[in-house]
Structure 1
């Protein structure tokens, strides 16, 4: 059951299952201690991060930032369940959080402001992502709905950041063509 009021919207914005599996595997393998998720959306990436953290069974801090725009300004009932009690919920816009944050994170998953996140992408990479961290952006090749997000991929290439773009699908039930960009900071 979707937490969105409209299942069609959920299918358009929710992370694809195979990208969620990749996110979980990256958390499991990278063993991050400080995690930041920008945007809750349908919760698929959040649950994938949590599964990876549970597997690792190591101390961690998990901050999740959302202004709850998709939910009329209030956190949905889904996010208030005990299964999310290990997450530090921060109600803020992505922009205000990014420019006020003084922490560094080992792992950042960004899927919040689909209209302006490209404007502060380099700031996130340079100031919020710790050395040897992983930064992930969803929907970077979803040019039909968010052509502006392609700039993140273009800036990644232009700046010489180590990365991998996952945007190919092999099955009709996948939505991988929307793009998951994984950036590695060294």
Structure 2
């Protein structure tokens, strides 16, 4: 019912007005919950120059062009409903290849598009022991609950098996907040792409900080700076950036650095991406909650 109401509102209202209403709604929802403690001590500093180097690296791009064929063989390299778009799958691959994390945590598996890209990059660039843990509130490999079945796709586990990557990934079916609170594991990179409501992102981010290894990284998806549309369809996902507003207001040591434009197309004929890194900005200049170097 709520989805139908949202679709009706999008049809009736201009995109700009509807986006502003979405932002306001998320701010009101977030204001109702109590504050979290944000310990940025383990969070590393991400710079614009480091991102540019990762995305423009010729050696990583060569690896991608080699691995892309295998990825496309097991999952259509297309914009699939609910899955991260092809251009952002490549961005994930290249970022993981540059950071070379030994342990990665993904919140929000869904159809496993990002899971496959991360696992392939770990296998190629991070060494034999590198591993991904991916968490979703449902069993994403169950044909009853997994989104893959209604989309006519193979399950995430089957895709990984076909790609020879089964040993690289552990699937967890559990609410993300519960997993983050209970786990003793620590991760070099955490990718937050689960529940996009501002209260959920706000809580998850605080918990994710506690699960980082020293100098670790947190990457967010569907981050729309200032609530502005990034793609021609004009839609936005307001929760992550609204959560970031409150986080940066409550912890001056944290900023957010959107990737901005990719060297290749992301989706809908543009190169813009909604990926954004959290960064430790102690000693750096902040503008509008973003890290600037």
How do 1:13-28 residues align onto structure 2 when only pairs under 5 Å count?
A: 13-28=82-97
| Structure-2-length-normalised TM-score | 0.52
* Bigger RCO (CA 8 Å, 6+ sep): 2
CA distance in 2, matches of 1:73, 1:185: 38
Selected match of 1:161 from 249, 254, 278: 254
The answer as to whether partners of 1:106 and 1:130 remain within 8 angstroms in 2 is: yes
State the 1:139 CA deviation.
Answer: 0.7
Query: C-alpha offsets along residues 111-138 of structure 1, whole Å, 9 cap, x if unaligned?
Result: 1112243231342342112211111110
**Kindly tell me: are residues 89 and 110 of structure 1, through their superposed partners in 2, closer, same or farther at Cα, counting changes over 3 Å?**
same
Residue in structure 2 matched with residue 105 of structure 1 by the alignment: 187
| Structure-1-length-normalised TM-score | 0.77
Residue 224 of structure 2: SS of its match in structure 1?
A: coil
CA distance in 1, matches of 2:144, 2:195: 15
How much is the aligned-residue C-alpha RMSD, in angstroms? 3.2
Q: Does residue 281 of structure 2 align to residue 182 of structure 1?
A: no
**Kindly tell me: are residues 94 and 41 of structure 1, through their superposed partners in 2, closer, same or farther at Cα, counting changes over 3 Å?**
same
Q: Bigger CA drift: 24-33 or 122-131?
A: 122-131
CA distance in 1, matches of 2:205, 2:258: 17
State the 1:184 CA deviation.
Answer: 3.9
How do 1:24-43 residues align onto structure 2 when only pairs under 5 Å count?
A: 24-43=93-112
**Kindly tell me: are residues 183 and 55 of structure 1, through their superposed partners in 2, closer, same or farther at Cα, counting changes over 3 Å?**
same
**Kindly tell me: are residues 45 and 167 of structure 1, through their superposed partners in 2, closer, same or farther at Cα, counting changes over 3 Å?**
same
Structure with the larger strand share: 1
Residue 84 of structure 2: SS of its match in structure 1?
A: coil
Residue 110 of structure 2: SS of its match in structure 1?
A: coil
- How many equivalent residue pairs? 179
**Kindly tell me: are residues 50 and 130 of structure 1, through their superposed partners in 2, closer, same or farther at Cα, counting changes over 3 Å?**
same
